Structure 1
Amino acid sequence: MAFLYYTTLSNILCMLYFADSIVRTLQNKPVNHNLKGAVTLAITVTMLIYWGILAPHNFDVHTVNQLLGTLCVHLFVPLMTIFDWILFDKKGQFSRWAPLSWLAIPWVYYIFAVIGASANLTFANGQHYPYFFIDSNLLGWGPVLLIVLALTLFFLIFGYLFYFIDTKWGAKGHK
């Protein structure tokens, strides 16, 4: 069930977005900048949560392949996505309310995780929740809801940080 982790799904989301972007570019169709913002935020948070919360507690890498895989999904893809936005996207295209809509990605994932746990889905970690910090069986609902609220604010702050950077660079005429 490793493919059900937020990390994997956010990387797949990037792959699908960029595949669609290539097709749209080849067909001379516009890309959806707000969707790109959502994808960029989702993968950025993947990187930040992994390196800030998960890796310090359990950096369980034993082989070169595991190390390369970990670096790929938690560092290289996020950085490439961020740099793609910085270097190649036309700036000033995000809707003012887009960062609020970008919250749908983590919220849908959280709801999926709760439903999965209720259905006794077992993740690769052997638990019913994919991550310890949203495991209500481990922490209780009160702490988990506070963590989810904090993560929502984290996503929102980063979303608006992207929005403000994009808007400022757009006003200055950056690509």
Structure 2
Amino acid sequence: MAARELWGRISAAIIAFAVLWALWPPLGGALERGASLPFAIWSLLRMFTITTNLLVGVVFARIALRGTHSVSPIVIGGTMLAIVLVGVVFNLLLGNLPHQSIWYAIGDNIHHVAAPLAVPLWWLLFSRHGALTWSAPFIWALYPLAYSAYTVIRAQFMPQGTGIYSRYPYFFMDADLLGWPMALANMAGIAIGFILFGMLAVAVDRWLAKRM
């Protein structure tokens, strides 16, 4: 096994372990408060941070176990872009949230700071480059759009509330607070931003392919 592949798999294993471990503090906290395991999981899966870090954990665990070539570059690229979105949105709009314990704080920083930095760095250093096409960003944008649809549908089965009791996980998606036109515009704006950053990722991918 080449040194680059070996270090790629080792670093992928570290990333996968970290993001999956960081799921435990909020899940364990919900269980300690008396929630059933299915309800605790259901509650966590309303968050884009959780679904995306779970995706990172699964993709990078597969890379660690079976090698870089076991995952398509388009899947790795989309996963990288999604976790970068987590970091950007959180640190620009949602930062400085209170933590119930040191373990919550560590897990929160893994999901919102460490992973959004480590995954694109891994992508730059270890991913196969040159296989992405200009259609990839439009495929990648299906993920935030699907999450938005999932959030809207899910909210219709929950009682209406405000603040921390909102049916929506993020204030910029909260149709109860902002109204449907603004909430949908925000969701569309995120998808458009996803496409634009995706175009940049494809350009970087092609530039790296020429240099390697």
Equivalent residue for 2:27? none
The answer to whether the aligner puts 1:171 opposite 2:184 as a matched pair is no
**Structure 2 contact 173–187 (Cα < 8 Å) conserved:** yes
Q: Which amino acid is 1:15 matched to?
A: G
Q: Any idea what the Cα deviations from partners look like across 1:70-107, whole Å, max 9, x if unmatched?
A: 11110111211111101111221212211110011111
- Of structures 1 and 2, the one with the larger relative CO (CA 8 A, separation 6+) is 1
Equivalent runs, 1:54-133 vs 2, <5 Å: 54-55=94-95, 59-61=97-99, 63-120=101-158, 125-133=164-172
The 8 Å contact of residues 120 and 128 in structure 1, kept in 2 or not, is answered as yes
Q: Deviations over 1:42-89 (max 9, x none)?
A: 10000000001111xx52235322221211110111211111101111
Report the AA paired with residue 188 of structure 2: L
Distance 1:157 1:121 in 2: 35
After superposition, residues 3-22 of structure 1 pair within 5 angstroms as 3-22=45-64
- Measured after TM superposition, the shift of residue 170 of structure 1 is 0.9
C-alpha contact 1:122 1:129 (8 A) present in aligned 2:
no
Q: Output one character per residue of 1:105-155: Cα deviation in whole Å (capped at 9) or x when no partner.
A: 1111100100011111789x4221111100101100111122122111111
Q: What amino acid maps onto 1:9 in structure 2?
A: T
Mark the CA change 1:149 to 1:19 in structure 2 (over 3 Å): closer, same or farther: same
Tell me, yes or no, if structure 1 residue 151 matches structure 2 residue 190: yes
Please, which runs of 5 or more residues in structure 2 have no aligned partner? 1-42
Residue segments in structure 1 that go unaligned for 5+ positions in a row:
none
Query: Aligned in 2, Cα 1:147/1:63: closer, same or farther, shift over 3 Å?
Result: same
CA distance in 2: counterparts of 1:23 and 1:72, whole angstroms: 22
Q: Tell me what 2:15 maps to.
A: none
Separation in structure 2 between the aligned mates of residue 121 and residue 13 of structure 1, nearest angstrom: 29
Q: Runs in 1 of length 4+ with deviation above 4 angstroms?
A: none
Classify the secondary structure of the residue corresponding to 1:4: coil
> What TM-score results when the alignment is normalised by the length of structure 2?
0.74
Instruction: Kindly name which structure, 1 or 2, has the bigger radius of gyration based on alpha carbons.
Output: 2
Structure 2 equivalent of residue 52 of structure 1: 92
Number of aligned residue pairs: give it: 169
Q: Give the whole-Å Cα distance in 2 for the aligned partners of 1:132 and 1:154.
A: 18
Determine helix, strand or coil for the equivalent of 2:158: coil
**Separation (CA, whole Å) in 2 of partners of 1:14 and 1:147:** 24
